[in-house]
Amino acid sequence: MNRRTIMVSFSSALLAAGIAGLTAASVIAADPIKIGVVSHLTGPLAGGEAVTHTPNIELWAKQINDRGGLKVDGEQRPVEIITYDDKTDPAEHIKAVQRLATQDEVDYMLSPYGTGFNIAAAPIYAKYNYPLVAVSAITDKIPELSKRFPNMFFTLGTTSGFVEGVRDTLVTMRDAGTIGNKIAMVNVADAFGIELADTARPILTEAGFEIVYDKSYPLGTPDISPVVKGAKASEPDAFVAWSYPPDTFALTEQAIIEDLDVKAFYTAVATCFPAYADKFGAKIEGNLGAGGINPDTPAMQAYRKAHKEVTGKEADYWASATYYASLQVLEQAIEGVGSVDREATIDYIKNNSFDTVLGTISFDENNNSERYWSVGQWRDGVFRAVADTGMGDSVPAVAKEGWN
């Protein structure tokens, strides 16, 4: 596929997804800073990409270009976004990343959506000194990956930290007499779900829980009903799914159909999506999931307002803000260096703190392990954080009282 075809495809995607290139106000004499992104515009993870990544790229690019661009080399230069669709195919993703680096010769690249895709693309980012501020990536291999790829940074903490947030939430509910000890656990069979399930088994067992059902399923599986029926048959007190967006929706729908009666129902990615609430309405009151936010801070309120005004969409209640924060980190690092020197930008990210929608964040050995939300709960139409590390603004979880 040649560049012209890609740009035609990208222009079509713009009409549907609203990704902005140069705005009219930003068409100035200075050469643009070219920023590449390989997106899942189609395929199983397209829905998650369209909620968490794409609108924030549009918002960020518009805000920069509306003020004249990034300040580098003594002038303001607009940003130009160049994107390819990998169809949620790892092989296509790698080819597109390679093309951005060697043929398009972009100045910077933005991080992929999904743990497996971030890890798969990391060698190319490292080879060409592109800073990789990974957002949609959770792993306990951060020390190993950071040592191998010094240009790679993590924003959502470790797999263990993520699981511990779920454990702590369930322990608190058990101690309050809300739930018992029996957990049904399922996971999507890719890098994200497998690592989370492998990490969760000993952590939940050591906390005194009994995993009475343990099942994995392929990404994009067309029928999730056997998984939910099996979980229900195990008569659990809590249901935990390490899931990606398509299966989060499917699992919830089947839980409603099967009337899965648990006081703690947890699904992972996409539980925080506004579309999740739009689809299921009041039935998801009390549902737990990955992330959550504190919607009451001035910075979060300003961000969500701008997101809606520019993109026409509500931001999700977790990784949207974190992805936007990663773009703020890149922006501040580029302007801090004052040039498009990628190696210097990497060093700047390593050694500085950044003012973001999440507050001030910094990277200790390439990991922002001190400030993140891990578990949220739907409460009166808002997905509020009920577990966090370093944020200090979570609220206690409550029991789920049925599906109606």
pLDDT tens for each residue of the chain, 404 residues long: 333 223 323 333 333 334 434 333 434 458 999 999 999 999 988 988 999 999 999 999 999 999 999 999 999 999 999 999 999 999 999 999 999 999 999 999 999 998 889 999 999 999 999 999 998 887 888 889 989 999 999 988 788 988 999 999 999 999 999 999 999 999 999 888 999 999 999 999 999 999 999 999 998 888 999 999 999 999 999 999 999 889 999 999 999 999 999 999 999 989 999 999 999 999 999 999 999 999 999 999 999 999 999 999 999 999 899 999 999 999 999 999 999 999 999 999 999 999 999 989 999 888 886 778 999 999 999 999 999 988 889 999 999 999 97
Taking a C-beta distance cutoff of 8 angstroms, is the pair 357, 297 a contact? no
What is the residue type of 85? D
Q: What is the pLDDT of residue 148?
A: 93
Given CATH 3.30.420.10, say whether it is the number of domain 159-294+373-389. Answer: no
Nearest to 394 by CA among 294, 324, 251: 294
Q: Are domains 3-158+297-372 and 159-294+373-389 of this chain identical in fold? A: yes
pLDDT at 389: 87
Number of helices followed by number of strands (H, E) in the chain: 14, 16
Please give the distance of CA 307 from its chain centroid, rounded to a whole number: 16
Q: Residue 343: enclosing H or E segment and its boundaries?
A: helix 342-351
Residue with tokens 């169809």: 87
The residue count for the chain: 404
pLDDT reported for residue 20: 38
Spatial contact of 13 and 42, defined as CB atoms under 8 Å apart: no
Residue spans per domain, the chain? 3-158+297-372, 159-294+373-389
- Report pLDDT for 4: 27
Alpha-carbon distance values, 166 to 238, 253, 283 (Å) = 11, 22, 21
* pLDDT number for residue 29: 55
- By DSSP bridging, strand 70-72 and strand 33-39 are unpaired
Q: Which residue from 305, 307, 325 is spatially nearest to 391, judged by alpha carbons?
A: 325
Sign of the Cα pseudo-torsion (368, 388, 58, 65, in order): negative
Which of 3.40.50.2300, 3.40.50.10240, 3.40.50.1820, 1.10.443.10 is the CATH number of 3-158+297-372? Answer: 3.40.50.2300
Instruction: Kindly state the DSSP code that residue 293 receives in the 8-state scheme.
Output: B
What's the angle, vertex CA 103, arms to CA 100 and CA 104, rounded to 5? 55
The whole-number pLDDT of residue 5 equals 28
d(Cα 112, Cα 16) in Å, to the nearest integer?
A: 20
Residues with Cβ within 8 Å of 23's Cβ and at least 6 positions away in sequence, in order, are: 62, 65, 66
Q: What is the largest CA-CA distance in the chain?
A: 66
